[in-house]
Structure 1
Amino acid sequence: MDPLILSRIQFAANISFHILFPTITIALGWVLLFFKLRFNRTGDEKWMDAYRFWVKVFALSFALGVVSGITMSFQFGTNWPGFMESVGNIAGPLLAYEVLTAFFLEAAFLGIMLFGFRRVPGWLHTTATFLVAFGTTLSAFWILVLNSWMHTPAGYEVIDGVVHATDWMAIIFNPSLPYRLTHMLLASGLTVAFLIAGISALRWIWGDRGTEVRATLRFGATLGAVLIPLQIYAGDMHGLNTLEHQPAKVAAMEGNWETQGNVPLVLFALPDQEARENRMEIAIPNVASLILTHSLDGEVPGLNDFVAVDGTPEHPPVAPVFFSFRIMVGMGMAMLALSWSALWFMRRGRGVEGLPRPWIYAFAAMGFSGWIATLAGWYVTEIGRQPWLVTGVLTTKEAVGPVTGGMVASSLVAYLLVYAVLMAAYLGTLTYLARRAARHDPLTPDLPTPDAGVRALQPAE
Structure 2
Amino acid sequence: MDFGMTAEMLARIQFAFTVSFHFIFPAFSIGTASYLAVLNGLWLWKRDPAYLKLFEYWKTIFAVTFGMGVVSGIVMSYQFGTNWSVFSERAGPVIGPLMGYEVLTAFFLEAGFLGIALFGRRRVGDALHMVAVVVVAIGTLISATWILSVNSWMHTPQGFSIDANGVFIPEDWWAIVFNPSFPYRLTHTVLAAFLTTAFVVGAVGAWHLLKDRENRQARIMFSMAMWMAAIVTPLQIVAGDMHGLNTLEHQPAKIAAMEGHFESHPDGAPLILFGIPNEAEQRVDLAIEIPKLSSLILKHDLNAPLQGLDAFPADERPPVMIPFFAFRIMVGIGFLMLGVGLWSLWARWRKTLFTNPWLHRAAIAMGPSGFVAVLAGWFTTEVGRQPFTVYGLMRTSESLSPVAAPAVGASLVAFVVVYFLVFGAGVFYLFRLFRRPPILDEDHELDKGPHRAAGIAPGPAQEEPIRAGGAGAN
- Report if TM-score (shorter chain) is over 0.5: yes
* Unaligned runs of at least 5 residues, structure 1: 457-461
1:215-268 superposed Cα distances (whole Å, 9 cap, x missing partner): 000110110111100000000000000000000000001001122231111000
Q: Distance in 1 between matches of 2:207 and 2:158?
A: 47
What letter matches 1:431 in structure 2? Answer: F
Note the C-alpha offset of 1:455.
7.9
Structure 1 residue aligned with 2:222, among 217, 226, 238? 217
- Kindly indicate whether residue 344 of structure 2 is the aligned counterpart of residue 338 of structure 1: no
Structure 2 residue aligned with 1:349, among 351, 355, 375? 351
Q: Distance in 2 between matches of 1:203 and 1:406?
A: 49
For 2:271, the equivalent position in structure 1 comes to 265
What is the number of residues matched between the two proteins? 449
Q: Distance in 1 between matches of 2:366 and 2:425?
A: 20
Note the C-alpha offset of 1:140.
0.3
- Kindly indicate whether residue 305 of structure 2 is the aligned counterpart of residue 299 of structure 1: yes
1:341-366 superposed Cα distances (whole Å, 9 cap, x missing partner): 1221122124423xx21111111111
- In the TM superposition, 1:10-409 aligns within 5 A as 10-160=14-164, 161-207=166-212, 209-260=214-265, 261-307=267-313, 312-353=314-355, 356-409=356-409
TM-score by length of 1: 0.94
TM-score by length of 2: 0.92
Q: 1:181 to 1:442 in 2, by over 3 A?
A: farther
* Bigger mean CA offset, 399-408 vs 4-13: 399-408
Q: Distance in 2 between matches of 1:155 and 1:450?
A: 52
Q: Distance in 1 between matches of 2:213 and 2:197?
A: 20
Structure 2 residue aligned with 1:8, among 9, 12, 16? 12
* Bigger mean CA offset, 115-124 vs 343-352: 343-352
Is the CA contact (8 Å cut-off) linking 1:119 and 1:453 kept in structure 2? no
Q: Which secondary structure does the structure 1 equivalent of 2:287 belong to? A: strand
Q: 1:343 to 1:423 in 2, by over 3 A?
A: farther
Q: Distance in 1 between matches of 2:126 and 2:388?
A: 50
* Bigger mean CA offset, 291-300 vs 208-217: 208-217
- Kindly indicate whether residue 424 of structure 2 is the aligned counterpart of residue 424 of structure 1: yes
Q: Distance in 2 between matches of 1:409 and 1:442?
A: 51
Q: Which secondary structure does the structure 2 equivalent of 1:283 belong to? A: strand
Note the C-alpha offset of 1:427.
2.8
1:133-178 superposed Cα distances (whole Å, 9 cap, x missing partner): 0000000000001000000001000001111001000001000000
Q: Equivalent pairs: percent with the same residue?
A: 45
Note the C-alpha offset of 1:431.
2.2
Q: 1:443 to 1:82 in 2, by over 3 A?
A: farther
Note the C-alpha offset of 1:208.
6.0
Q: Distance in 1 between matches of 2:144 and 2:195?
A: 16
Q: Which secondary structure does the structure 1 equivalent of 2:121 belong to? A: coil
Note the C-alpha offset of 1:274.
1.0
Q: 1:125 to 1:140 in 2, by over 3 A?
A: same
Is the CA contact (8 Å cut-off) linking 2:386 and 2:396 kept in structure 1? yes
Is the CA contact (8 Å cut-off) linking 2:49 and 2:444 kept in structure 1? no
Q: Which secondary structure does the structure 2 equivalent of 1:295 belong to? A: coil
Is the CA contact (8 Å cut-off) linking 2:209 and 2:354 kept in structure 1? no
Q: 1:211 to 1:273 in 2, by over 3 A?
A: same
Is the CA contact (8 Å cut-off) linking 1:37 and 1:126 kept in structure 2? yes
Note the C-alpha offset of 1:444.
6.0
What letter matches 2:240 in structure 1? Answer: G
Is the CA contact (8 Å cut-off) linking 1:118 and 1:449 kept in structure 2? yes
Q: Distance in 1 between matches of 2:147 and 2:443?
A: 35
Is the CA contact (8 Å cut-off) linking 1:119 and 1:454 kept in structure 2? no
Q: Which secondary structure does the structure 2 equivalent of 1:266 belong to? A: strand
1:313-362 superposed Cα distances (whole Å, 9 cap, x missing partner): 41110010000000000000110101111221122124423xx2111111
Note the C-alpha offset of 1:119.
1.3
Is the CA contact (8 Å cut-off) linking 2:53 and 2:444 kept in structure 1? no
Q: Distance in 1 between matches of 2:124 and 2:454?
A: 6
**RMSD across aligned C-alpha pairs, in angstroms?**
1.7
Q: Distance in 2 between matches of 1:381 and 1:82?
A: 22
For 2:467, the equivalent position in structure 1 comes to none
What letter matches 1:420 in structure 2? Answer: F
Q: Distance in 2 between matches of 1:434 and 1:87?
A: 42
1:365-411 superposed Cα distances (whole Å, 9 cap, x missing partner): 11111000000000000000000000122110001111111111111
Is the CA contact (8 Å cut-off) linking 1:118 and 1:453 kept in structure 2? no
Q: Distance in 2 between matches of 1:426 and 1:299?
A: 50
Note the C-alpha offset of 1:206.
3.0
Q: Distance in 1 between matches of 2:47 and 2:352?
A: 23
1:66-124 superposed Cα distances (whole Å, 9 cap, x missing partner): 00000000000000001111111001100100001111100100000000122111011
